[in-house]
Chains A and B, each alone.
Chain A
Amino acid sequence: MIETLLQTLLNGAASGGVYALVALGYTLVFSVLGVINFAQGALFSVGGYLTFLLMGGRIGVNGALPGWGLPGGLPFWLALLLAAAGSGLVGLLVERVAFAPLRRRNAEPLLALITSLGAGVVLVNLLQLLMGAEGYAFPHGSDALGGLPDALVIAGARIRTIQLLLLLISAAAVLALSLWLERSRGGRALRAVAEDATTAQLLGIHSEAMVRLAFFLSGALAGLGGGLIGVSVSLPGPYFGIGYGLKGLAVLVLGGLGSVPGAIAGGLLMGLAEALVPSEASGWRDALAFAILFVVLLLRPRGLLGRRTVEKV
């Protein structure tokens, strides 16, 4: 009983951590440009597939190059890191094709919702072209986790190691990002651009470079989430990131648009609530998630930690 509860809470916190990653990615871009990057879910997929390939996974029979794979598999942590960086670069590309041309023309910022959605659809379809629509499972066992055992026994309860790693890695990423934003010279500059890009320029801050940095970090967070979910569950198909992207969007609104602590709190609440749905009723998980969103917004229209006016970062 204790074991089940502990495992359930850990599962919830772990997926909550991933939701927080995705929501923070939205938050970063939203703070500097005031728009939602709808390609975030696709970048999540990209991260999952990149991690798979970097760990030595091979392309299936329906892919563009059946049986092809990268030579030599990287250890889990290194693959995850590189996949996050790779997704960040794809995020930069999304900025270049879906956001930058609109900004140059001073177009209505809301148009970026459509262009980024388009970029996301293209990315997912490219993944499908390259990898096929089939699901992929990561190699499991101690090799995959760099020698760590598949399960740990904590306080008499058996815990899947990967779930613990999932929680620790996403918590570390979220913490590192918050500290960087709050304390570092670069973080202060990014927040300055978020508040007033013109004034930031007068202080010598290259606003455009900061916008690109936000897109890179945002893509890297989504990619990290995709890699983590891929390793802990599987890659059910190129569209798998879209669901997480939508869940992250719900978490973003739940926590309060643009609030970093809100994204973290919203992610955890969402993850834990879902985990508490008994497995016989697992079909109701998403319904529960959005019911929570609905109730919270009825009671607190600005989200859990949203500020009075819509403020950014």
Chain B
Amino acid sequence: MSTPLLELQGLSVHYGSVQALAGIDLVVHPGELVTLLGSNGAGKSTTLRAISALVPAAAGQILWRGGSLAGVPAHRLLKLGIGHCPEGRRVLSRQSVADNLMLGAYLRRDTAAIHADLERCYGLFPRLAERRSQLAGALSGGEQQMLAIARALMGRPELLLLDEPSLGLAPKLVGEVMAALAQLNREGLTILLVEQNAQAALSIAARGVVLEAGRLTLAGPAADLLADPTLQAAYLGG
């Protein structure tokens, strides 16, 4: 198999004396959609935050295309190809929808391609097109989530880290967001998707891994996980 795009080797993270991640290993290959499942506080967001250098790794390594990311500051990662759509949407509420999207393309200088991508985002999420000149803070929760995803896409990442895109959304919207992610993945975007909604995430992912209290407890193809009795009981409401 080719070199993994992203590889975590024994990654540990501490918050003070609390261990949030206790040595996890994870591989994401180019073009894959991998989902990271687990309950609240299992360390899912922490994993993404560690990859994005928002929290320091206490031990272990993060490799990007086989090279270590140690010492690379957060603001350099998008340039390398890692985009991060953070938990809780985090749109810039005092700027317009269009300005939020333009900020997603902050590092790019290819004006023509930026505008083409802008139209692509509006095509993917037509509701953003209708509200392009409104302040992002005035959007509904679902629209803000779409804006956050679209903004991350504007940076043209190779790997998109997505943190709980279904959080707080109505079931119909969850379906729409998942469909959009599946389409982006088919177009070649590699995605590491953190979700509590295991059912929705596994319906579009190729593989899934399950985190419990900072450790990986289960991993495998999405279809196997969907059929797994322990997972059924814990996360799938079965």
Proximity string of chain B (41-80) to chain A, C-beta cutoff 8 Å, 1 when within and 0 when not:
0000000000010100000000000000000011111110
B158 interface hit (Cβ, 8 Å) = no
For the complex, what is the distance from the CA of A207 to the CA of B75, rounded to whole Å? 8
Binds A, one of B18-26, B97-105, B219-227: B97-105
Shortest Cβ gap from B110 to chain A (Å): 13
Judge whether B38 is part of the interface by a CB distance below 8 angstroms.
no
Tally of contact residues, A, Cβ under 8 A: 19
Question: Which of B87-95, B124-132, B138-146, B168-176 faces chain A?
Answer: B87-95
Interface of A is mostly: helix
Would you call A206 and B86 a contact (CB within 8 A)? no
User: B103–A203 contact, CB under 8 A?
Assistant: yes
Considering residues B52, B54, B92, B99, which has the most beta carbons from chain A within 10 angstroms of its beta carbon? B92
Residue contact B75 to A189, C-beta cutoff 8 Å: no
Pair A195/B74 contact, Cβ less than 8 Å: no
- Say yes or no: A204-B84 contact (C-beta < 8 A), given A195-B94, A199-B90: no
List residues of A (176-195) whose CB comes within 8 Å of B's CBs.
185, 188-189, 191-192, 195
**CB-contact partner of B106 in A189, A195, A196, under 8 A:** A189
Q: Which residues of B contact A313 (CB under 8 A)?
A: 94
Q: How far is the CB of A195 from chain B (nearest CB, A)?
A: 5
Interface core residue of B84, B86, B93, B106 (most chain A CB under 10 Å): B106
The A195-224 residues at the B interface (CB cut-off 8 A) are: 195-196, 198-207
Using Cβ atoms and an 8 Å threshold, which residues of chain B touch A198?
54, 74, 86, 90
Which residue in A191, A205, A311 is a CB contact (below 8 Å) of B75? A205
Q: By the criterion CB–CB under 8 Å, are B75 and A204 in contact?
A: yes
Centre residue among A195, A206, A313 by max chain B CB count within 10 A = A195
Q: Judging by beta carbons under 8 Å apart, are A311 and B94 in contact?
A: yes
* Interface assignment of B155: CB less than 8 Å from any CB of chain A: yes
Contact A202 to B94, CB < 8 A, known contacts A188-B103, A189-B103, A189-B106: no
- Point out the residue from A196, A201, A204, A207 that lies within 8 Å of B92, measured CB to CB: A196
- Give the CA-CA distance A199 to B49 in the complex, in Å: 11
Across the interface, B155 reaches (CB within 8 A) one of A191, A204, A207, namely A204
Q: What are 14 contact pairs spanning A and B, CB under 8 A?
A: A188-B95, A188-B106, A192-B92, A195-B93, A201-B54, A202-B84, A202-B86, A203-B103, A203-B104, A203-B106, A204-B76, A204-B155, A311-B94, A313-B94
